Amino acid sequence: MLLMCYCLNTSVAIYPNGSGDFSTVFYFPDMAKDKKRFAEVKMATETDWPGRWNHVKRLLERSGPFAHPDFEPSTEILTFMQETCRILVIGAGGLGCELLKDLALLGFRDISVIDMDTIDVSNLNRQFLFRPKDVGSPKADVAAAFVNARVPGCKVTPHYAKIQDYDESFYRGFHIVVCGLDSIVARRWINSMMVSLLNYEDGELDQTSIVPIVDGGTEGFKGNARVILPGITACIECTLDLYPPQINFPLCTLAHTPRLPEHCIEYVRILLWPKEEPFGAGVGIDGDDPKHVGWIMQKAQERADEYNISGITYRLTQGVVKRIIPAVASTNAVVAAACATEVFKLASSCCQPLNNYMNFNDTEGVYTYTFEAQKREDCLRAPSIKCDHQTVKSIEERTRENLKKTLKELGLKSGQEIYVADSTTPNSLTFVLNLGTSMDVGTENDVRAAN
């Protein structure tokens, strides 16, 4: 707490002392000249004021009925959280903003955040770390600057990049990874990366190589939070069937019998855009470009009028083009709070972590349900083969001509290995060829993941 008393150009900085009374700490004869010094003194004095972490200490310095069996209350736990523990937050959107705020207020001080997006005006209604002046700026940079300025002592390091831009050494440097993603592909990639960090000695998992993942997701009034211990509990790949399938419309419906405004928009996006190339040859659709979205909306409206369909709006058009998932601020807050709580439990061992999946639904009332997602025994482990090229796209560009060739023309024989790269994993899979002379024999081909 800080009180400022102004008298012309003279300022006195007053801070509370340990007993709760106020005492004058510094005197600035000329505030206009001493602004920088005052800011330094203010930050140094306010980083940890008396009683700041009492709410956290109550959980860390005494035991309780829900404490972890191995938990030993200690003042050193808070010190570890503040000075040693490194947290990585992936995503600085609706969930990410809430996560950064929650983690900073729980006492974590060494936080990194990755996000490849820039701020759009549509984000401002729920992503509260951003302001109108920030539109067009990187989300990670703005979110980090806001939390650093608002929470004394917290250092959030921004990374305006894709998660695929960093290698194992980067991810190995964190104690816990928290995901606030809106993409299944990105979830699968980070899941594979965390699994690839595991070390096995004589077939036994070295538990010191585990970097836990806390993953949260929301859609409208529904959400979920989960804790993943790579190599021990169910991972993203084990539970892919829990994710709803992406909605795709049959081309015959789009072309001949549209019934919904979404059909008209998809018709323009899939069929008309490549045919007419309105902004030049090879120019793809940019869902954040008003000109692109406007053109699609205009053409979709023309088709909607032809079939007496109503409901074409700019917002709907952009939502279909970008496949925007509806977001509700309150749902983000609840799920982020659940995720931050799990991070706190993992870092401090003050309570048993979630085992291992929680559903949240407040469509009608409030409903939560937890269950243990089962680890699949045939779940792919971390392959040891790394791709020679940085991205799947670069591999595709260099080997595009090979798509026209048969296995024989490529010179492949039985017993040889094929490394397969995919955008959902930083590693490759290995297929061992066992070529036969008929389809029956071919079905017995040996396919395995490289381990």
Q: Kindly report the average pLDDT of the chain as a whole number.
A: 81
What pLDDT band is residue 8 in, cutting at 50, 70 and 90?
Answer: very low
Q: Which has more confidence, 303 or 251?
A: 303
pLDDT at 380 over 70: no
What pLDDT band is residue 434 in, cutting at 50, 70 and 90?
Answer: confident
The residues annotated with a catalytic role in the active site are: 252
Distance CA 58, CA 65 (A): 13
Residue 251: per-residue pLDDT? 75
Q: Which of 153, 147, 48 is nearest to 89 (CA)?
A: 147
Q: Which of 233, 202, 196 is nearest to 215 (CA)?
A: 233
For residue 260, count other CB atoms closer than 10 A to its CB.
14
pLDDT at 365 over 80: yes
Residue 428: per-residue pLDDT? 67
**How many CA within 13 A on the CB side of residue 168?**
16
Residue 242: per-residue pLDDT? 79
Residue 424: per-residue pLDDT? 64
Lowest mean pLDDT among 44-53, 67-76, 175-184, 292-301: 44-53
Sign of CA dihedral 32, 33, 34, 37: positive
- The average pLDDT across 170-184 equals 92
What pLDDT band is residue 34 in, cutting at 50, 70 and 90?
Answer: low
Lowest mean pLDDT among 37-41, 55-59, 99-103, 148-152: 37-41
What pLDDT band is residue 30 in, cutting at 50, 70 and 90?
Answer: low
Residue 255: per-residue pLDDT? 81
CA of 103: how far to CAs of 81, 96, 111, 155, in Å?
10, 10, 8, 11
Residues 206, 208, 210, CA angle at the centre, nearest 5°?
85
**Residue written as token pair 């009180």:** 3
